[in-house]
Amino acid sequence: MGLGVLMYPMYNTFKWVVFLFLYILLNIKSSTVKKIASIIFSFIFCFCTNFNNHESNDQGLDPNIIIIFMDDLGYGDIVNFGAIDYQTPNLDELANQGMTFTNFYSAQAVCSASRAALLTGCYPNRIGISGALFPQSKVGLNENEVTIAEMLKEKGYSTAIFGKWHLGHQEKFNPLNHGFDNYLGIPYSNDMWPVDYDGNQILDESNWKKKAYPQLPLMKDFEKIDEIRDLNDQSKLTTLFTEESVKFINKNNDKPFFLYLPHPMPHVPIAVSEKFKGKSKQGLYGDLMMEIDWSVGEIVKALEKNNIENNTLIVFTSDNGPWLNYGNHAGSTGGLREGKGTSFEGGQRVPTIMKWPNLIPIGSVSNQMASTIDLLPTIANLVSTKLPNHIIDGIDITSVLKGDKKSNPRNNFYYYYGDNNLEAVRKDNWKLVLPHKSRSYKNVLPGDNGYPGPYYQIQAEYSLYDLRRDPGEEYDVKELYPKVVFELEKLVESARKDLGDNLTRRIGENRREPGFSNTRREPGFSNTAED
């Protein structure tokens, strides 16, 4: 029990006694008494205000932290960001009661990399995680990296993950070895299974998916407790992880906790429970979004039931943009360029909402730049704990959460993709795209009903975009703003010196290795791959 729990009732009584006493003094005719009373009143008022701001959490405890991390959710996939033909009332209310971020970024536009970044506060290429880890991968999150869970566990937090891990499936990489007390979920993406696009088990032993993927396991802590074998099994995951999250909240309502809820969807294959089938006007994808919204509502209701909603920070965001070649089984970028697997805005700018009534102004909007890598240092500040001893890339954005419009803690950002390709940099509203090959979803037809369409390959040219006026990255203005290009090139050089750049064969001075499942690397073996 914190000191605030013991002091708060006494403080409340003391406050009103003092205010009554001062009120009486202020009504005495003596001018000297009035002056003294006025000074005392001002002092007490300031003290009480400060006490309220810092000690009036529901239970006087450090804040609970909940991160809801979606998979392949696009910038335009919730109503507050422009979605149509389905409703997201719980997410709308989360935004109404919290802060909406319009310039929030995943650290890389693919699964494992973005998850490593969120949990460690580092660009994923700094810590040796790139692309998406596969069942054959020999790497995972290095044991020397410090996760949000480990940091909070040191502060006495209960910690849990319910959902998709995807940072190494071997035992040494298990979430319980990275700061989590409880784990129920799948070790990698929900499409990494020997099942065809219609949801049927593949029996042909020569089929590449049959050879590459074992049955998709459902893990509880270190043990496999079940297998996800068909779309019916997939349809139960959103509800399962939501219900486990609610149980965890109920169990830990009297002490601080960290809940990490990385939903496996709307990453394909998408599936929805019976209670939401046919509920939207947008088909299966809309039904799924309504179930995700329901999940958020259940989390909020659990907080309210336990009277801890005022002392809980909720973060809702996504690992990257939508996988657009899946057509009607993919989300929307909201008009941003390209999608998942690219460093254009549609790949990395993600819808984000945060709520904490004790800190975040109700119904606020932040246009300041921020990223998932900023969560770890921000949380460290909010719970008054120290940062890791090694280099991290995240920046404390507490001032932004408080609604300070003049604060701009993150004024630049690096867009890396692949193993270590520096493809763009951003400073303020300017984005400099560097020459690189990229997948594109243009000029080809997308797939339909769970089947993928092809990719189109493009050569991205050296370009400058004003994201304030041109978030779709259509108009190259480098010839108009040579001074801006010059300033951004300084950032490019700084990134290449620090983190390296495979496109220009720069090694980088401050990269760290991932964890390896064995004691040596396997020559010529690709440890990661991309979706």
The per-residue pLDDT of the chain, averaged, comes to 90
pLDDT at 110: 97
Alpha carbon 496 to chain centroid, angstroms: 25
- With a cut of 70, say whether residue 14 has pLDDT above it: no
Mean pLDDT within 481-502: 98
pLDDT at 35: 56
pLDDT at 61: 76
Q: Strand 412-417 to strand 436-440: parallel, antiparallel, or no bridges (unpaired)?
A: unpaired
**Exposure on the CB side of residue 288, measured as CA atoms within 13 A:** 27
* Residue 16 tokens, joined: 């009103």
- With a cut of 60, say whether residue 235 has pLDDT above it: yes
- With a cut of 80, say whether residue 37 has pLDDT above it: no
pLDDT at 138: 94
Mean pLDDT within 192-198: 97
- Quick: pLDDT tens for 411-469: 999 999 999 999 999 999 999 999 999 999 999 999 999 999 999 999 999 999 999 99
Mean pLDDT within 77-98: 96
Mean pLDDT within 133-145: 96
pLDDT band of 531, cuts 50, 70, 90 = low
Greater pLDDT, 59 or 295:
295
Single-letter amino acid, residue 432: L
DSSP 363-420: TEEE-S-EEGGGHHHHHHHHTT-PPPSS-------HHHHTT-TT--S--EEEEEETTT
Burial 416-429 (b: 16+ CB within 10 A, else e): bbbbbbbbbbbbeb
pLDDT band of 520, cuts 50, 70, 90 = very low
- With a cut of 90, say whether residue 48 has pLDDT above it: no
Lowest mean pLDDT among 49-63, 490-504, 513-527: 49-63
- With a cut of 80, say whether residue 246 has pLDDT above it: yes
Mean pLDDT within 130-145: 96
Residue 265 CA: distances (Å) to CA of 90, 269, 398, 444:
18, 8, 29, 24
- Quick: pLDDT tens for 248-305: 999 999 999 999 999 999 999 999 999 999 999 999 999 999 999 999 999 999 999 9
pLDDT at 518: 78
Contact call for residues 101 and 364 (beta carbons, < 8 A): no
- With a cut of 80, say whether residue 32 has pLDDT above it: no
- With a cut of 80, say whether residue 42 has pLDDT above it: no
- With a cut of 70, say whether residue 52 has pLDDT above it: no
* For the chain, percent of residues with pLDDT exceeding 90: 85
- With a cut of 70, say whether residue 6 has pLDDT above it: no
Contact call for residues 462 and 434 (beta carbons, < 8 A): yes
pLDDT at 20: 54
- With a cut of 50, say whether residue 398 has pLDDT above it: yes
pLDDT at 40: 54
- What 8-state DSSP symbol labels residue 66? E
Residues tagged active-site: 111, 166
pLDDT at 373: 98
φ/ψ bin of 277: left (φ > 0), alpha (ψ from -120 to 50), beta (otherwise): beta
* Residue 365 tokens, joined: 């909007």
